[in-house]
Structure 1
Amino acid sequence: MFGIPLSVLEVAMVQTGARAVDTLRDTAAFAQGVERLGYHRIWYAEHHHSPAIGAFPPVVLTAHAAASTSVIRLGSGGVLAPNHAPLTLAEQFGTLAALHPDRIDLGIGRGPGTFDEPTARALRRGAGPATDAEYEGDVAATLSFLVDEVALGPLPEPWLLASSPAGAALAAGLGLPVAVAHHIRPDNTQAVVERYRAEFAGSRWCERPRVLLCVEAVCAETAEEAAWRVGPMDVVRAGLLKGLSELPFPTPAQAAAHPFTEEERRVLAGFRAQQAVGAPETVVGRLTELVGETGADELMLTTPVYDLGDRIRSYELIKKYSGTAAS
């Protein structure tokens, strides 16, 4: 129905009462599960100092998943340039690409990966937030080091993450494929896509504009079950609206008992309407709309739900009802 590849963003949510080792075990099982379903690639996000999301380096998760899968593409979505030396990123992902040819992606983003200022400063060795010029220089240097210093064999496929027109302009100017963070800033999506296509200049990395659209998608057999599963993320998101980044990822039952304010319910409903949550026909219909509106070349789905089996089931239903189920 979509006619384009379907991929996965893994944010490694840490369940209430779980240990880091439990989340890491689930992460490996999840990669194997979506590979069996025929998804094209899986990316790992960089986060720090959050009880709801594991602080697992994308390069480590990529290496672990690559060793336990065989065909699915893997990489960062993204590794955050301000937190890392460009040469280090080039060496890490260049090595992974040499070990797993034609399977490794290097998705680069800008944010600090945390709402905690001391943690952000620690990641930057005491420095403040990166300026536009510093970020652009880090991205350009990483690409240069990949070619000039690493060159171990097949190179990773570089992508730039963007949630604003400025990020789109940088991706276009460098001739990189762009991953649009619709799951974070949906109101910016159309402006990001339009600016990227308008300003794109081909490069050794990408001859024509390529748009990957990342969408939050939670699919279940019924709308009621999907709402139940998305409840824990609603609690975390409501906390972020209040500036609270320390909330753990609750169970669905805990989320159902959470006392949301009317304003929180309104904002959460508005956000959910721009994503893809519900029964299979609703989710696939919404994803089809987004592809039509943006002309995306690939869809990447992120599904922050509590139970591993429920997450895999969501991806299975979307594959089945979109007509792209693996044979």
Structure 2
Amino acid sequence: MIDIPLSALEVAMVQTGTRAVDTLRDTAAFARELERLGYHRVWYAEHHHSPAIGAFPPVVLTAHAAASTSVIRLGSGGVLAPNHAPLTLAEQFGTLAALHEDRIDLGVGRGPGTFDEGIARALRRGAGPTTDAEYREDVAAVLSFLVEEVALGPLPEPWLLASSPAGAELAAELGLPVAVAHHIRPENTRAVLERYRAAFTPSRWCERPRVLLCVEAVCAETEEEAQRLGGPMNVVKAGLLQGISDMPFPTPEEAAAHPFTEPERRALAGFRAQQAVGDPETVVRRLAELAGGTGADELMLTTPVYRFRDRVRSYELIRKQLGG
């Protein structure tokens, strides 16, 4: 039903009532579990100053997970170019690629990784938001430094993250594989793919258009349980709809008691309809529809649920439904 690789995006949710160190412990265990289940890669996202998501540098999480796994690919999804010197990124991921041959990815994105303007400026040492031209120069510089300055041996596999046609156009211009943030802006997915495929130019990094589609996937034994597990992220999303970005990640019980407004319910239902939430048969069918409808070369699943064991179980059920 699905004959393309399945991977995972780790956003390191910090659960209410737990410590950041507990989340860090789970991230390494998560990579080991997904390696056992036969998933292709795990990527780590960069976030800052959020009570719901740990501020853990993707390069550190990648190094930590790589030390305790053996075959699964690991990397950033993504490290945010405006927050880092291009040479530093090239050195960090070039070193990881030399230490863990043919297992390291360098997924690069543009956003600041925070809704706090003060934190965003601190990350950029007082500079304002990056322009389109500055972002292009940063990404091009990372690629150049990887080849000309670092080149310790095997290079990390570079990807560009895109949630808009502008990001897709840059990936196409540079000849990079693209990771499409369907889990964030599903309404943009079609336009992103069309722009990328129409403008793609082959490069040393990629000979043809190559698409990874990131999808929110919550799988449980029953539809009702999957909806319950997805409840905490619905609360976080409802807060974002109101411009509230400092909400903690609640428990499923707290989420069940949350008073959603009718406009929030409609918006959340519309979002969920474009993702993959439900029992194993429903989730796998939906993933197959997304893969077929977009022509994706790979699906990356993100599963923002409260408990670690429920998150791993979601990935187990999907593999079992696929016969893995």
> What interval of TM-score do these two structures reach, taking the shorter chain for normalisation?
over 0.9
Any stretches of 5+ residues in structure 1 without a counterpart? none
2:213 counterpart letter in structure 1: L
Deviation, 1:292, is 1.0
Question: Aligned Cα RMSD in Å?
Answer: 0.6
Aligned AA (1:80):
L
Aligned partner of 2:239 in structure 1 is 239
1:26-175, aligned counterparts within 5 Å?
A: 26-175=26-175
Aligned counterparts of 1:210 and 1:126: Cα–Cα separation in 2: 36
Distance 2:159 2:322 in 1: 26
Instruction: Please give the secondary structure, in 1, of the residue aligned with 2:187.
Output: helix
Q: Which amino acid aligns with 2:98?
A: A
Task: Report the Cα offset of residue 300 of structure 1.
Answer: 0.2
Equivalent pairs, count: 324
Distance 1:115 1:306 in 2: 22
Q: State the distance in 2 between where 1:309 and 1:152 align.
A: 38
Partner of 1:199: 199
Structure 2 residue runs without a partner (length 5+): none
Equivalent in the alignment of 1:282? 282
If the length of structure 2 is used for normalisation, what is the TM-score?
A: 0.99
Partner of 2:218: 218
- Matched with 1:309 is 309
Query: What is the CA–CA distance in structure 2 between the aligned matches of 1:35 and 1:53, rounded to whole Å?
Result: 23
Tell me how far 1:281 sits from its aligned partner: 1.0
Deviation at 1:322, TM superposition (A): 2.3
For residues 318 and 164 of structure 2, the distance between their equivalents in structure 1, rounded to whole angstroms, comes to 28
Q: Distance in 2 between matches of 1:313 and 1:202?
A: 39
| 1:119 match: secondary structure | helix
Paired with 2:230 and 2:322, the residues of 1 have a C-alpha distance of: 21
Which AA in structure 2 matches 1:54? G
The equivalent of 2:13 in structure 1 is: 13
Give the Å deviation of 1:195.
1.1
SS at match of 1:274: coil
**Offset, 1:265:** 0.8
TM-score by length of 1: 0.98
- CA displacement at 1:212 relative to structure 2: 0.3
CA distance in 1, matches of 2:69, 2:208: 30
SS at match of 1:160: strand
